[in-house]
Structure 1
């Protein structure tokens, strides 16, 4: 794991936070995840673990930034056919994000960056963004990364660059997610349980079916893609490439 505890708000004291803000650390990153099935070989914590790890990399790359506690549970209703999955309603997720933003803005953070390692959170994040912005003072800028296509394409590129097969990227419990977990939390990967799921990225009709009837209607084992061929090297490259994508995305949204 990346050693980033000194940047994580929840591991600081209140006076330490006050001094950090006073000294110019007025940007804060809010990572969002999910607690949902990831096939027979990955734990339900994947998206939250991934988001937490990425947030530290993003904060370090941006500079003068801290990391808020991860919103670990997300909008995962399309996974509820699989035991263990916990899902928030979109409205609940929005209220949590709103309360994070208003609390952080009150303390003096003037740039709030939200992203999710769970693609299922992207649509509600995009929808709520105008309301989050109106909930904080005009001096505070709220940004959210919600480009799921760019994320998945970056994974495919990263897997190929690291020597893997991009066709094994499907977006869920695939070679990319399995590899990144081998890098950050290998103890949470059941390597003997690898199974191929639905190959490739989902078509528009597949996506519509998934949102309507749940992921099980598209993939019986809950996997989109294929974890076979996963490696630490692929995982590390995927993480680095997504961190760079987030940093670039937030830079484009920065009016300064």
Structure 2
């Protein structure tokens, strides 16, 4: 159920069959050290949502390849970053138009960590404007406890690390520079710091973690976990109802309970 491959005459029935559920994948275009190409986050979000869409029937909106990557600085070429306000506006506009087409359950599947704050702002705006629209943000590295544990094995502020490298070895090997993997390790230097520093002040080469430990087999297992666990979330989302039916705009003084 790929939105861009469906016609306007097909989408209403597609959404009805999917209980009006859609997925919005978002990645980024940013440096990922010397051994991974700049499209890594997008190369993860897109197939993750495609697999989940195939298994659940939820419609997959076109993948967004840009994100809020300001923290990667201009030290290394390749990063194309959106300002937070730009990303907020983009997601709000997409959500408004998806709603007009019939979407009532929108899951934003995010594979770039620092997209989270702008996405949350867009979520607040969308649900305040559309009373019957439910919106969730699913950060790919936090889909489940086992997925989170795999991502954090080599640092709390990981980037282009063991997990991400393994995932690309399995899902998009064409963006991995195999000859540079073993020499790309750089440790997490953020432990105990008060401030959140940009990557140019915490990493020598744009990496945080140990990509040298990555294997394709590990990546295949992790990606399978991510798909399975995302599918379970989508299936729950398809039947979830708000705990209470109260309107966003209603006057509580006129409500009996």
How far, CA to CA, are the matches of 1:41 and 1:105 in structure 2?
40
Q: How does 1:117-196 map to 2 (within 5 A)?
A: 117-136=111-130, 138-146=131-139, 150=142, 154-155=146-147, 157-158=149-150, 166-167=153-154, 171-194=158-181, 195-196=183-184
Does 2:205 correspond to 1:221?
yes
Deviation at 1:249, TM superposition (A): 5.2
Number of residues paired by the alignment? 238
Task: Indicate conservation of the 8 Å contact 1:26/1:64, yes or no.
Answer: no
Match of 1:4 in 2: none
Measured in 2, the distance between the counterparts of 1:179 and 1:87 equals 25
| Matched position secondary structure for 2:158 | strand
In the aligned structure 1, how far is the partner of 2:64 from the partner of 2:33?
A: 22
Instruction: Give the equivalent residue in structure 2 for 1:54.
Output: 48
Superposed CA deviations along residues 187-219 of structure 1, whole A, max 9, x for unmatched, are 11101112344435843627x332xxx201000
Distance in 2 (CA, whole Å) between partners of 1:46 and 1:29 is 19
Q: Distance in 2 between matches of 1:252 and 1:229?
A: 35
1:99-143 residue CA offsets vs partner (Å, 9 max, x unmatched) = 11111111111111112100111122223321121233x222111
Of 53, 60, 65, the residue aligned with 1:67 is 60
Alignment gaps of 5+ in structure 1: 1-6, 161-165
Contact in 1 for aligned 2:28/2:69 (Cα 8 Å): yes
1:238 and 1:96 map into 2 onto residues whose CA distance is 30
1:87 aligns with 2:119: no
Report the equivalent of 2:241: 255
Q: State the match for 2:9 in structure 1.
A: 15
SS at match of 1:180: helix
SS at match of 2:10: helix
Alignment of 1:94-133 (within 5 A): 94-133=88-127
Structure 1 position 19, deviation (Å): 3.1
Q: Which structure has the larger Rg?
A: 2
**RMSD of aligned residue pairs (Cα, Å):** 2.8
Contact 1:171 1:201 in 2 (8 A): no
Distance 2:175 2:110 in 1: 20
Contact kept? 1:174, 1:223, Cα under 8 Å: yes
Q: CA deviation at 1:21?
A: 2.6
Q: Aligned to 1:224, what secondary structure does the other structure show? A: coil
The 2-side partners of 1:157 and 1:172 are apart by 14
Provide structure 2 residue ranges, at least 5 long, that are not aligned to the other structure: 243-257
Aligned to 2:250: none
* Greater helix fraction, Structure 1 or Structure 2: 1
Question: 2:226: which partner in 1?
Answer: 242
Normalising by structure 1, report the TM-score: 0.81
For residues 155 and 25 of structure 1, the distance between their equivalents in structure 2, rounded to whole angstroms, comes to 27
Counterpart secondary structure, 2:117: helix
Are the equivalent residues in 2 in contact too, given 1:158–1:241 (CA < 8 A)? no
